[in-house]
């Protein structure tokens, strides 16, 4: 452990920047050994401070070597500045001045992948949140917005493409024959949106005509062997641009929009102004190498980054505590976009399923934090599911409370009022409130209160009066640092069904309708519905109208009714999930007690009816047939018994497979798509149902099913079908699984993104040799510790591997801890992410819990990065 440990910073301590930077002129002399960065910062004291003499403090990084500093072209002698804890401090400054800094960096040795670094043969950047300080000294905070001009000097034979934000305004040569390119971005922006790329790249060009008839050049750059895989992303970009005009009235502002794909990237993509940089896994797509899911992800991420141009870039965050201002809103925007492009219900189910599995787990664990955190040690740790996904749910609830039209008036006001500013979540809510007249004062607690609220619902029916009364109690469990919670304003969308599944009209507070939105604002509140002849079955929380846990004592009959008849597609799925959860919970209890598993499954009847109804959307049927996964069942269990959860899932899946084997075979045959592959909703829907059916059919002891899996694997003309067959083979212990895995690698070893899928599937093989398989993968030539995608594939796959990761002797935990310790030094962001499975230790069954905890303690004894230190100390607290 280090002697002095990193400390937290607090939202309550926010003060405006003492200096502003009106103009930023940067020059990069790129070279394979040392890159020279010269900055000229046109600075002045921030007038909000009045007459002030505070020193100028600029942020830097440990690998930035300062060569010289000048103020208004006067070279400062050593005694007039100092560098302390990576900060450059200049005590005496004028009220306005030009500060020049010359610094040296070595991008080729930058393994953190923050700042300027090399990926394959190119230079690229990642500056959010605090990467810019690894390039040069700066006021690296989002409320300092500046107009950037960037000069790139490089050898054109090696780096024919040289890009930065804005428009290319000049091109020339140095005396030594190097090429000089100058870019100018007229829109003021914080340093986190700065980007630079230089490399030998191929380009695909296109054009978009905006609603005001301006022509925008669109360019996607990749290494030349990948340029045939960008057509889908380009079309997705144009759809996004059109959608933002039509839905939010937001038009693109520069004359050029560029996207670059890079292989080594810590996350998915980055919205740098006019120059988005993408992890190639989130941009490239071709039928042979990309699954349907990945196609949809490409579309969603292209849209997300594009939408940031308004929600994030034109209007940005005042400080990093406000991160959800741009991320929650932009996730909501990309979710709505995808819903409009495909099926809204399918999209909602997928998003909620993810939220309930992963965000709820975060909210119940040691890293739980409000959507607007009150403090952090390392901001990189707060790019979380809470900030992104729960943040999007908050915006969605505002949308529900205001309705479509007023919500749009609110977003218009927000963009107009704050264009060019760095603002807060409060400003966003104020715009929504001002434009709509809807009081959001209590609602704002959603931003500051962590934890997932639980709604306990009871009901009573008065036959004589035709009155149905629903009582809802809300309760949010304590989270670290927040022992007590206040009631939230929770919109609960509700419908009522009769015993035949018909939708019932009812009156609530004078309004008669088949659906109502209840405004739950108190700790306990009752709602009276009148005009009912018989006791209804409530369809609660339709569309998942709030990110809460719902507790209502549904009978299996109620759930079967909702599953087959509710007019709300989301709740049909949700009822099926609940029925499955109820049955799995019984089985898990039996497994924990060491009993023989046995159940009278109602789900069999529900599935039978579902499979017989040809009128349903196949994509929805596929989702309903998908049993709650290991992670979701773990989230709702206390304590977690990983092996027993797995045993219960396998038992129920096999039971359903055996009972409905003929139905699954029929569905498998019926939904085969024979036309040429297209990533369009209808075909995706058929493929998903066909492959879910195959996964069940393969669990039944059927020779024909085994044959079908092998055949699909060998003859598929697209990655969706080929990889589905391979995964089914691996997870159903197909007797040719090992040969198929080997053949798959041989077939695809020159396609890194496919190899990543192979690595992940191989690492998730759930058997007694799991750990040695994973060790083998890490020694395989296809593995590369420098590449975050490969690390995520192998260690992410292993984290889902029950037999391997949760091995009773603790060897799985020890192995992951070893990798974290290695990566902590090389790439702290990735190391910190890998800690997530270990943060769940308190919830595990006692024997495993103790073993996991001791690995956390072992990690803590190391010299840790801020990133890993924060996660480990909070987990052990």
103, interface contact from ligand B3K, Zn ion, none, CB < 5-8 Å by kind: none
In whole angstroms, give the CA distance from residue 583 to residue 601: 7
- Examine residue 870 and tell whether it contacts ligand B3K (CB under 6 A): no
- Looking at the Cβ atoms of 297 and 549, the one nearer to Zn ion is 297
- Looking at the Cβ atoms of 192 and 554, the one nearer to ligand B3K is 192
Binding mask 318-357 for Zn ion (x = CB under 5 A): ---------x--x---------------------------
Q: How far is the CB of 394 from ligand B3K (least distance, A)?
A: 16
- Looking at the Cβ atoms of 313 and 691, the one nearer to Zn ion is 313
267, interface contact from ligand B3K, Zn ion, none, CB < 5-8 Å by kind: ligand B3K
> Residues 83, 267, 631, 681: which binds ligand B3K (CB under 6 A)?
267
Longest CA span, the chain: 96
**β-pair partners for 511:** 508
- Examine residue 277 and tell whether it contacts ligand B3K (CB under 6 A): no
DSSP string, 201-244: -EEEEEEEE-TT--EEEEEEEE-GGGGGG-HHHHHHHHHHHHHH
CB within 8 Å of 725: residues ≥ 6 apart: 691, 694, 709, 710, 712, 713, 716, 740
- Looking at the Cβ atoms of 304 and 646, the one nearer to ligand B3K is 304
Phi/psi of residue 164, nearest 5 degrees = -150, -170
In whole angstroms, give the CA distance from residue 726 to residue 715: 12
Residue nearest to ligand B3K (CB): 128
Q: How far is the CB of 305 from Zn ion (least distance, A)?
A: 7
518, interface contact from ligand B3K, Zn ion, none, CB < 5-8 Å by kind: none
CB within 8 Å of 826: residues ≥ 6 apart: 111, 112, 785, 786
Place of tokens 């996730």: 331
Catalytic: 170? no
Q: How far is the CB of 129 from ligand B3K (least distance, A)?
A: 5
**β-pair partners for 262:** 279
Residues 364, 370, 371, 376: is their CA dihedral positive or negative? negative
**β-pair partners for 400:** none
> Residues 45, 59, 119, 128: which binds ligand B3K (CB under 6 A)?
128
At 797, which helix (H) or strand (E)? Answer: helix 788-799
Q: How far is the CB of 741 from ligand B3K (least distance, A)?
A: 33
Contact 183, 149 (CB under 8 A): yes
Q: How far is the CB of 326 from Zn ion (least distance, A)?
A: 6
Angle at 795 between CA 790 and CA 801, to 5 degrees: 135
Contact 844, 639 (CB under 8 A): yes
Q: How many alpha carbons fall within 13 Å on the CB side of residue 231?
A: 6
Q: Which residues of 837-861 are buried (b: 16+ CB within 10 A; e: fewer)?
A: bbbbbbbbbeebbebbbebbebbee
* Ranges within 378-437 binding ligand B3K (CB under 6 A): 380, 383
Q: CA distances (Å), 433 to each of 345, 383, 408, 439, in order? A: 28, 27, 12, 6
Contact 24, 41 (CB under 8 A): yes
- Looking at the Cβ atoms of 125 and 718, the one nearer to ligand B3K is 125
- Examine residue 310 and tell whether it contacts ligand B3K (CB under 6 A): no
- Looking at the Cβ atoms of 402 and 823, the one nearer to ligand B3K is 823
380, interface contact from Zn ion, ligand B3K, none, CB < 5-8 Å by kind: ligand B3K
Q: How far is the CB of 390 from ligand B3K (least distance, A)?
A: 14
383, interface contact from ligand B3K, Zn ion, none, CB < 5-8 Å by kind: ligand B3K
- Looking at the Cβ atoms of 327 and 378, the one nearer to Zn ion is 327
> Residues 135, 195, 270, 540: which binds ligand B3K (CB under 6 A)?
270
Q: Given the rule CB under 6 A, which of 45-53, 171-179, 268-276, 586-594 is the region that contacts ligand B3K?
A: 268-276
> Residues 304, 549, 671, 806: which binds ligand B3K (CB under 6 A)?
304
Binding mask 314-333 for ligand B3K (x = CB under 6 A): -------------x------
Site size with ligand B3K, rule: CB under 6 A: 12
In whole angstroms, give the CA distance from residue 797 to residue 626: 20
Q: How far is the CB of 773 from ligand B3K (least distance, A)?
A: 31
Structure tokens at 420: 């060019």
* Ranges within 222-241 binding ligand B3K (CB under 6 A): none
- Looking at the Cβ atoms of 329 and 641, the one nearer to Zn ion is 329
Contact 152, 30 (CB under 8 A): yes
118, interface contact from ligand B3K, Zn ion, none, CB < 5-8 Å by kind: none
270, interface contact from ligand B3K, Zn ion, none, CB < 5-8 Å by kind: ligand B3K
In whole angstroms, give the CA distance from residue 677 to residue 681: 12
Contact 193, 271 (CB under 8 A): yes
- Looking at the Cβ atoms of 220 and 488, the one nearer to ligand B3K is 220
Q: How far is the CB of 310 from ligand B3K (least distance, A)?
A: 13
CB within 8 Å of 660: residues ≥ 6 apart: 604, 607, 608, 611, 696
Place of tokens 């990798």: 819
- Examine residue 195 and tell whether it contacts ligand B3K (CB under 6 A): no
- Which of 130, 223, 299, 305 is catalytic? The answer is 305
Q: Given the rule CB under 6 A, which of 153-161, 303-311, 332-340, 584-592 is the region that contacts ligand B3K?
A: 303-311
- Looking at the Cβ atoms of 280 and 732, the one nearer to ligand B3K is 280
Q: Helix axis angle, 866-876 relative to 811-826, nearest 10°? A: 150
574, interface contact from Zn ion, ligand B3K, none, CB < 5-8 Å by kind: none
> Residues 244, 271, 363, 867: which binds ligand B3K (CB under 6 A)?
271
Reduced 3-state DSSP string for 33-90:
CCEEEEEEEEEEECHHHCCCCCCEEEECCCCCEEEEEEECCEECCHHHCEEECCEEEE
258, interface contact from ligand B3K, Zn ion, none, CB < 5-8 Å by kind: none
Q: Which residues of 769-781 are buried (b: 16+ CB within 10 A; e: fewer)?
A: ebbebbeebbebe
- Looking at the Cβ atoms of 269 and 770, the one nearer to Zn ion is 269
262, interface contact from Zn ion, ligand B3K, none, CB < 5-8 Å by kind: none
Reduced 3-state DSSP string for 349-384:
HHHHHHHHHHHHHHHCCCCCCCCCCCEECCHHHHCC
Contact 753, 723 (CB under 8 A): no
Question: Among all residues, which ones are annotated catalytic?
Answer: 305
- Which residues contact ligand B3K (rule: CB under 6 A)? 128-129, 267, 269-271, 304-305, 308, 327, 380, 383
- Which residues contact Zn ion (rule: CB under 5 A)? 327, 330
């Amino acid at each position: 452990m280090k002697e002095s440990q990193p400390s937290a910073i607090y939202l309550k301590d926010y003060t405006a920047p003492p200096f502003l930077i009106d103009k930023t002129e940067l020059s990069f002399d790129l070279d394979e050994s040392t890159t020279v960065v010269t900055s000229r910062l046109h600075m002045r004291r921030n007038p909000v401070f009045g007459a002030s003499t505070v020193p100028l403090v600029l942020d830097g990084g440990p690998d930035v070597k300062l060569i010289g500093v000048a103020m208004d072209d006067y070279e400062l002698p050593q005694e007039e500045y100092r560098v302390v804890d990576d900060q450059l401090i200049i005590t005496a400054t004028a009220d306005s001045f030009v500060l020049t800094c010359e610094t040296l960096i070595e991008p080729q040795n930058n393994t953190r992948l923050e700042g300027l670094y090399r990926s394959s043969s190119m230079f690229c950047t990642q500056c959010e949140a605090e990467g810019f300080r690894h390039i040069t000294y700066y006021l690296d905070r989002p409320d300092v917005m500046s107009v950037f001009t960037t000069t790139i000097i490089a050898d054109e034979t090696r780096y024919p493409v040289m890009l930065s934000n804005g428009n290319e305004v000049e091109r020339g040569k140095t005396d030594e024959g190097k090429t000089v390119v100058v870019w100018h971005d007229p829109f003021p922006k914080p340093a986190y949106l700065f980007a630079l790329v230089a490399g030998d790249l191929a380009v695909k060009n296109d054009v978009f005509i905006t609603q005001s008839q301006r022509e925008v050049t669109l360019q996607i750059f990749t290494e030349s062997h990948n340029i045939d895989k960008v057509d889908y992303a380009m079309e997705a970009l144009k759809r996004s641009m059109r959608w933002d005009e039509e839905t939010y009235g937001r038009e693109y502002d520069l004359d050029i929009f560029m996207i670059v794909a890079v292989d080594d990237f810590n996350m998915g993509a980055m919205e740098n102004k006019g120059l988005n940089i993408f992890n190639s896994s989130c941009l490239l797509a071709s039928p042979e190498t990309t699954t349907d899911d990945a196609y949809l992800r490409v579309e969603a991420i292209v849209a997300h980054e594009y939408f940031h141009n308004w929600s994030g870039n034109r209007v940005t965050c005042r400080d990093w505590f406000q991160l959800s201002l741009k991320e929650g809103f932009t996730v909501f925007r990309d979710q709505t976009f995808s819903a409009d492009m495909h099926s809204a219900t399918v999209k909602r189910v997928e998003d909620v399923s993810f939220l309930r599995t992963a965000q709820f787990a975060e909210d119940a664990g040691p890293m739980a934090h409000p959507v607007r955190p009150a403090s952090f040690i390392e901001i990189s740790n707060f790019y979380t599911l809470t900030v992104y996904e729960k943040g999007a749910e908050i915006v969605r609830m505002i949308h529900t409370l205001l309705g479509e039209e007023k919500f749009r008036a609110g977003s218009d006001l927000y963009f107009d009022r704050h264009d060019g500013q760095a603002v807060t979540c409060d400003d966003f809510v104020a715009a929504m409130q001002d434009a709509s007249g809807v009081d959001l004062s209590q609602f704002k607690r959603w931003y500051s209160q962590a934890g997932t609220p639980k709604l306990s619902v009871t009901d009573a029916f008065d036959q004589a009066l035709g009155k149905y009364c629903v009582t809802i109690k809300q309760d949010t469990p304590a989270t670290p640092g927040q022992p007590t919670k206040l009631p939230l304003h929770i919109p609960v969308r509700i419908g009522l069904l009769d015993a035949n599944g018909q939708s019932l009209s009812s009156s609530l507070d004078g309004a008669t309708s088949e659906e109502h939105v209840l405004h739950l604002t108190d700790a306990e509140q009752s709602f009276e519905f009148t005009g009912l002849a018989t006791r209804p079955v409530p369809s609660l929380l339709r569309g998942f109208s709030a990110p809460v846990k719902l507790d209502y004592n549904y009978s299996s009959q109620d759930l079967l009714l909702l599953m087959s008849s509710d007019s709300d597609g989301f709740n049909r799925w949700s009822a099926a999930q609940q029925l499955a959860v109820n049955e799995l919970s019984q089985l898990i209890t039996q497994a924990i007690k060491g009993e023989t598993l046995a159940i009278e499954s109602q789900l069999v009847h529900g599935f039978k009816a579902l499979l017989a109804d040809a009128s349903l959307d196949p994509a929805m049927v596929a989702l309903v047939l998908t049993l709650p996964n290991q992670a979701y069942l773990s989230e709702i269990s206390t304590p977690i018994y990983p092996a027993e959860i797995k045993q219960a899932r396998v038992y129920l899946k096999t039971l359903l497979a055996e009972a409905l084997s003929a139905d699954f075979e029929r569905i498998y045959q019926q939904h085969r798509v024979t036309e040429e592959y297209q990533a369009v909703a209808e075909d995706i829907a058929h493929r998903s149902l066909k492959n879910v059916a195959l996964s069940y059919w393969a669990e039944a002891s059927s020779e024909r099913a085994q044959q079908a899996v092998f055949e699909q694997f060998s003859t598929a003309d697209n990655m969706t079908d080929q990889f589905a067959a391979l995964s089914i083979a691996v997870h159903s212990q197909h007797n040719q699984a090992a040969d198929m895995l080997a053949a798959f690698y041989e077939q695809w070893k020159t396609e890194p993104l496919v190899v990543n899928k192979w690595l992940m599937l191989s690492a998730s093989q759930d058997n007694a040799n799991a750990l040695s398989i994973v060790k083998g993968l890490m020694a395989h030539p296809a593995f590369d510790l420098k590449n975050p995608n490969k690390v995520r594939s192998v260690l992410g796959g292993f984290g889902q591997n029950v037999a391997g990761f949760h091995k009773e002797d603790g060897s799985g935990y020890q192995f992951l801890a070893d990798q974290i310790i290695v990566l902590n030094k090389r790439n702290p962001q990735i190391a910190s992410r890998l800690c997530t499975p270990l943060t769940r230790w308190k919830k595990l069954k006692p024997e495993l819990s103790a073993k996991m905890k001791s690995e956390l303690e072992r990690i803590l004894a190391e010299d840790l990065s801020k990133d890993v230190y924060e996660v480990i100390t909070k987990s052990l607290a």
